[in-house]
Amino acid sequence: MHRPEHLKNAGLKSTLPRLKVLDLFENGKERHLSAEDVYKQLLGSGEDVGLATVYRVLTQFERAGLLVRHHFEGGKSVFELNKGEHHDHILCLQCGHVEEFHDKAIEARQEKVAGELGFAIRDHSLQLYADCTRKKCPHKP
């Protein structure tokens, strides 16, 4: 466990709210959390954090490369730990579960298409909205 160093390396003081937020992402059961999710879970654990602090910390962690921000449908930002390797997401329309995937063929085609149109890709965003085909829909029923 070297969370404090992560913060230090990012030029951020090691404060209680920051450690708590990091802990949520590293040890919580959901990998993908909105600011409100984080806020409510911290309040539920008896932590006394402000919502403004949660927003600030999430943005700082994103800038520091500790978290990645996603813009799924629904208007609110969703964050997850930055594990280094890029991936895209499937969102289950029934249970809200978020599954990750990475497909080299898709990425290669993206590069090809962009190149033909005269663009160099800097970033991309791909989400699949889908229904579970098995009934082992693994989360909220």
Partner DNA sequence: TTGCAAATAAGAACGATTATCATTTGCATA
Partner DNA sequence: TATGCAAATGATAATCGTTCTTATTTGCAA
Sites of contact with a second copy (CB under 8 A): 71, 73, 75, 90, 92-93, 99, 101, 103, 105-106, 109-110, 113-115, 117-134, 136
Residues 6+ away with beta carbon under 8 Å from 130: 90, 91, 92, 93
- Identify the residue among 3, 23, 40, 51 touching DNA (CB under 7 A): 51
Give Cβ neighbours of residue 76 (< 8 Å, ≥ 6 apart). 34, 35, 36
Of 5, 36, 63, 110, the one binding DNA by CB under 7 A: 36
Q: Tell me the closest approach of the beta carbon of residue 138 to a second copy, in angstroms.
A: 10
Burial class (CB in 10 A: 0-12, 13-18, 19+), 135: exposed
d(Cα 60, Cα 10) in Å, to the nearest integer? 9
**Which listed range, 69-77, 89-97, 116-124, 125-133, lies at the site for DNA (CB under 7 A)?**
69-77
Best CA proximity match to 72, nearest among 64, 80, 60: 80
With CB under 7 A as the contact rule, the residue among 2, 44, 48, 140 that binds DNA is: 48
Q: Does 57 bind DNA (CB under 7 A)?
A: yes
Smallest gap from Cβ 102 to a second copy, in A, equals 9
* Residue 105 binds which of DNA, a second copy, none (CB < 5-8 A, kind-dependent): a second copy
Q: Whole-number minimum distance, CB 25 to DNA, in Å?
A: 15
Integer Cα distance of 13 and 34 in angstroms: 23
- Backbone φ and ψ of 103, nearest 5°: -135, 115
